[in-house]
Amino acid sequence: MWLTVTTIIGLLSGWFWLMAKYPDHPDKPILRIAYQSGGMALGTSLRGILTLSVCPSGLRIGIMRVFGPFCRDFFVPWESIAVIRKTILFLPCAELQFGNPAAGTLSIQAHVADRLARSAMGRWPETGPFPEEKRIDVIRRLLTQCAVYVCFLGVLFMLAFVASHQGQSQAKLLFKLLNLLLVVVVGTVLLRFYRKKKSCGP
């Protein structure tokens, strides 16, 4: 069952096509950052399972083997990459387009794209600038992400919570719901800081 699901994800995301068109290349990475998130074709979301490696001649993209047992790393030369900056759900992102016309895309957070660009030593397909993220920027970004998550999760939790607690007073119901949302916010912030720390490459 798991192999079927991961194979479908590989097909829908366009990963199999990309790894066939851009096979891996034995370039030594200048920067390697793991536990990254991205969006690919047909709305495929890959949360915290990507590894991005900046190399002298291109960008290597990999996935945690447990989530893509048949998805090999692929390597896109710098001259085959275009970058389009966007804002999705109030969060600045960068869409990487592979090939012209595009054979596939990968959307990553803007601060991750900036970090890759700073390490590419002038080979990144944008002119910049690529400012380094400050602590206040990290906090602002995490709070924005939490707000977006809470808006979506809050509605789902509220509907499920109210449906399963019929007959209780509104005050008790609201108190329990606020506690539940607080746990979601704190957990999301801690998880984001942990992933940021783990993703720091050499």
Q: Is 35 left (phi over 0), alpha (psi -120 to 50) or beta?
A: left
Q: What is the pLDDT of residues 3-41, one digit of tens each?
A: 888 888 889 999 999 999 999 998 999 999 999 999 998
Reduce the DSSP state of residue 90 to 3 states and report it. Answer: coil
Whether the CB-CB separation of 80 and 99 falls below 8 Å is answered with yes
Segments of the chain assigned to CATH 2.30.29: 2-119
Residue 22 and residue 75: Cα distance in Å, rounded? 5
pLDDT at 36: 95
The H or E element spanning position 88 is strand 81-88
At 35, list the tokens.
């536990």
Q: What is the pLDDT of residues 99-121, one digit of tens each?
A: 999 999 999 999 999 999 999 98
At 127, which amino acid appears?
Answer: T
pLDDT surpassing 50 at residue 200:
no
pLDDT surpassing 90 at residue 87:
no
Residue 13 and residue 173: Cα distance in Å, rounded? 41
Q: Assess whether the previous peptide bond of 23 is cis (omega < 30° from 0).
A: no
Domain 2-119's class?
mainly beta
Q: Taking all residues of the chain, what is their mean pLDDT, rounded to a whole number?
A: 81
Q: What is the pLDDT of residues 120-155, one digit of tens each?
A: 988 999 987 887 877 776 676 667 666 666 666 666
Whether the CB-CB separation of 35 and 19 falls below 8 Å is answered with no
* Residue 22: DSSP 8-state: S
pLDDT surpassing 50 at residue 202:
no
- In terms of DSSP H, where are the helices of the chain? 2-13, 15-21, 110-119, 135-164, 170-198
pTM above 0.85, yes or no: no
